[in-house]
Structure 1
C-alpha cells in the first residue's frame, strides 16, 4: 500500500502533459491533478491516525485501501477534468487513511529494536525506491498504454493487498469512538492542514494566515474538549516535537533533491524523461541495500541517534557534491558519486529518524503519533519543494544552461543547510537523558 501511495505522487507528474492535452486542462488547472491529492492527503493524516487508535489500525488501513482503489478506477475512467480532480481528492483521502497508521503498525508488529530497524528499513526503501521508480514507470506506461493505465494499475494491486491485509494484519479493537472522536476538532485540524499545504503550494500568504488561525483554534479546542481528538499530553512532548522538526527538514531535503535533480538532469544535462528515471536508479538501489542490510545492524548495535547523525552527515556531503557540479558535468564522474552518497545517507537516515520520533509512544497513541509523523513528512516535502523551486527560479533568471545550473546548484546548497540544521537538532536538542529512556520505553512496550 505504501508503495502505491508513493508511486502515485510521482508517476502522475510524468503524465501531466498528456492528461492536460486529452482532458482540456488549463495551465493553472492541471496542477490540481497533483495538488488535489496532496491537499487531501496531508489534511487527513492526523485525523486518520487518531481513528486508528479509536477503532483499530487494521480497520482504518483497509478502509483507506478500499477508498484509494475505488478512486483509482474513477481517475482511470475519467472523461472530464472535473472528474479526474474529484478522483484525485478521494485518492488522497484514501491514501491518508491507510498511510497514517502504517508506522504505528510497524512499531507494534516489530517491537524488538533490530527487527524494528529492519522493518523501518523496508519502509524507507519503499518510500525512496517508489519515488524514483515513479519517474521510470510513468514514462513507460504513459508512452506504451496511455495515461489512464497509471491509475488503473492500482486496482489489481489494491485487491491483492486488501486480501492479504485481511488475513495477516492483527485485528486490534481500539479504544472506542467514545474516547476521542472530537468532530469540531477534526474539522479544524483537517481544514487547517489542508489549507496550510495549499498555502505552501500556491505561495499564498492569506491562506497561510487562515491556516494558522484554524490550527490555533484546534489547539484551543483540544484544551477545552472532554474527549480531545489528540490528547495535549502528546502535543506537549518536547521529544516528539523536536524529532518531528528534524523529520520536516529531512523530508524537505528529500523531496526537493528529487525534483531539483530531475530538472537538473533534464534541463542542464539534456536527458529525456526515461533517461532521467534511469539516471536515478543508483540511488534507490543503494538505499535498498543499506536500509535492508546495513541500517538494522548498525541501529541494533549503536542505537538510532548515532546512526541518524552519520546518515545526516552523508546527506550533507552528497548535497555539497551536487552543489559543486560543473556546468557541463559527466554523469559517471560528477553525478553518480553524489547519487551514491545520497543513497547511503537516505538509507540510514529515514529508518532512524522515524524510530526516534516514534520512541516512547504508548500503544494507545501509536496511531495518532504515526499520523503526526506522516504529517511532518508531507509538510516537509511540500515546503522543501516550494522553497527550493522558488530559490532555483529566482537565481536562474533565464533559460540558458548556465543560468539554470546556477539556480539548481543554489537549491542543492540550501538543501544542505536543511540537513545541517537537522544534524544540529539531533546533536544538541535530542541529546538528553530522556532520549535513552524514550527508546528503552519504546522497546519495553513491546
Structure 2
C-alpha cells in the first residue's frame, strides 16, 4: 500500500526502509573505530564546524556591518539570507552531485569556492557586493554540507555506529558555533572584516586534511536535474524577496511579479519532479512519515533559532548598547551545552529512539523562546536570571534534537540516495531559516528600537514556529499506531 505522510506506519519500499523511530537495536559487538575512521569523522566534522563558525560570526558582526556600510535592518537580513538561500536552494543539487560525481571530489571543489568567497566578502566596500559574496559562499556550503554528511552516513553503518558518529558530528557544529561567537566578538571590536578572513584559514586546513583522509567514492550512475535546481532556487529567492519587500512597499508591480514568479517556479518545480527520469527530489520519499517529521523538525529548529539569534543580536547591541564581545559571551553557553551533551546523544538515541528526543528538543526550544519574551525585556536585565536560562534551554534543544533529526532523516536510506536524504533535511532547515527570518525581519523593521516592544511581534512568530515543530513531533505519538517494522 501507499504510505500517507501523516502516518507513523509504513511498508518498506524498494530503496527505503522506514525507521521505527524507536530505540535502535545496538550492534551486539560495536566495532572499534581505528585511526582511519576517526580521521574521516574529523575531516567531515570540520566542514560542520566551518558552517557553524560562519553563521555565528556573521550574526555577531551584523550591527557593525550595518553601521559601516549604511545598511538598515531589512538590508542586513540579506547578509544572513543571501547565505541561507544559496545554501538551501542548492543543497539538493549538492547532495545529488555528491552521489553522482563522487563525495571527495565535490567536497574538495566546494571548499575552494567557499574560501575564495569568504576572502572576497572581507574585501568589498558595498552592501550589494557583500550580499553577492554571501550568496556564492552559501552555494559552496550547499555542496560541502551534504557531501560531508553523506561521507559519514556511508562510512559508518546504520545503528549504533552511525548514531555515535552523528552525535559527535554535532559536537563540531556546537564547537564552531561557540567559537564563532567568541572569536567574532573579539574580531568585530577590531574590524568586522576579520570575521570574513578568519574562516579562510580553517578552509585551508580542511582542504589539506580532506585530500589525504577522505577516500575516493565510485560515482553512481545517473543524471543531475539542473532545471529542478534552478526552479527551486529561483522560487525561494522570489518568495523571500516578496516577504521582505511587501511590508515596506506594498504590492507594487515588481513585488506582485515576484510573488507570482515564486508560486510559478515552485509549482513548475513540483511538476517537473514527477516527470523527469532522475529528479532532484524523488517525491515518493515524502510518503515515509518519519522522514517528513524529521524535515519538519529541521525547518522549525533552524527557522526559529536563526531568526532568534538575529533578533537578540540587534536588540542587545543596538537597543541595549552591548559591545560585540559582551553579546557573544552572553550567547556562548548555548554552544557549550551542545558541545558537552552531543557526544552522548547517540546513546540516548540507541536507548529511547529519535521520536522522544525530537519532542524533548522542540519543547526546550519553545520554553527558551518564551523565557526570553517573559524575562528579557528589562532595560537593565540580570543576565543569570533573565537571559541565561533561555540560552541554556536552546543549547539543550540543539543537543537533543540535531543528531536525532539527522538519524531519523537518513535511517533506512540506501547508500546511493544518502546524498539526497542528507541534502533534503538540511534544505528544510535552510528554507525554514530563510522564510522565517524574512517574515520576522518584516515584523521588526522600522525606526531604531528603544525597548523590547518593537521586537515582540517577531519573537511571537518564533515561538509559533517552534510550537508547530513540537506539535508535528508529538503527532507521531498521538496517532496511537505502531510503526510497521515494530508491529512486525
* TM-score category, normalised to shorter length: 0.7 to 0.9
CA deviation vs aligned residue, 1:390-430 (integer Å, no higher than 9, x gap): 45569xx9944363475576356435523432333443469
Structure 1 residue 150 corresponds to structure 2 residue 201: no
Q: Which residue of 2 aligns with 1:189?
A: 232
Deviation of the 1:55 alpha carbon: 1.1
CA deviation vs aligned residue, 1:225-263 (integer Å, no higher than 9, x gap): 233333343354444233312221122222233233334
Alignment of 1:268-347 (within 5 A): 271-293=322-344, 295-325=345-375, 327-328=377-378, 329-347=381-399
Deviation of the 1:356 alpha carbon: 0.9
Q: Aligned in 2, Cα 1:52/1:428: closer, same or farther, shift over 3 Å?
A: farther
Alignment of 1:29-108 (within 5 A): 32-78=78-124, 83-108=129-154
User: Quick one: higher RCO (CA 8 Å, sep 6+), 1 or 2?
Assistant: 2
Distance 2:182 2:350 in 1: 34
Deviation of the 1:357 alpha carbon: 1.6
Q: Aligned in 2, Cα 1:318/1:75: closer, same or farther, shift over 3 Å?
A: closer
Q: Which moved more, 1:109-118 or 1:384-393?
A: 384-393
Structure 1 residue 222 corresponds to structure 2 residue 273: yes
Deviation of the 1:373 alpha carbon: 0.9
Moved over 6 A (4+): 24-28
Structure 1 residue 117 corresponds to structure 2 residue 163: yes
Unaligned runs of 5+ in 2: 1-46, 247-254
Deviation of the 1:433 alpha carbon: 1.1
CA deviation vs aligned residue, 1:204-228 (integer Å, no higher than 9, x gap): 6653442232122122223222333
Indicate the SS of the match to 2:274: helix
Indicate the SS of the match to 1:296: helix
Match of 1:354 among 406, 414, 418: 406
Count of residue pairs the alignment pairs up: 432
Q: Aligned in 2, Cα 1:336/1:78: closer, same or farther, shift over 3 Å?
A: closer
Distance 2:126 2:292 in 1: 42
Is the helix fraction higher in 1 or 2? 1
Pairwise CA RMSD: 3.2
Q: Which residue of 2 aligns with 1:374?
A: 426
Distance 2:441 2:161 in 1: 38
Q: Aligned in 2, Cα 1:131/1:385: closer, same or farther, shift over 3 Å?
A: farther
Q: Which moved more, 1:236-245 or 1:92-101?
A: 236-245
Q: Please give the TM-score of this superposition, normalised by the length of structure 2.
A: 0.78
Distance 1:31 1:308 in 2: 28
CA deviation vs aligned residue, 1:102-148 (integer Å, no higher than 9, x gap): 3222222222433323332233344345345434322321322x233
CA deviation vs aligned residue, 1:299-349 (integer Å, no higher than 9, x gap): 122222222222233333333333331643421123222322322222111
Distance 2:326 2:358 in 1: 32
Deviation of the 1:267 alpha carbon: 6.0
CA deviation vs aligned residue, 1:28-57 (integer Å, no higher than 9, x gap): 666544443232222211111111111122
Q: Which moved more, 1:233-242 or 1:261-270?
A: 261-270
Q: Aligned in 2, Cα 1:74/1:32: closer, same or farther, shift over 3 Å?
A: same
Q: Aligned in 2, Cα 1:324/1:412: closer, same or farther, shift over 3 Å?
A: farther
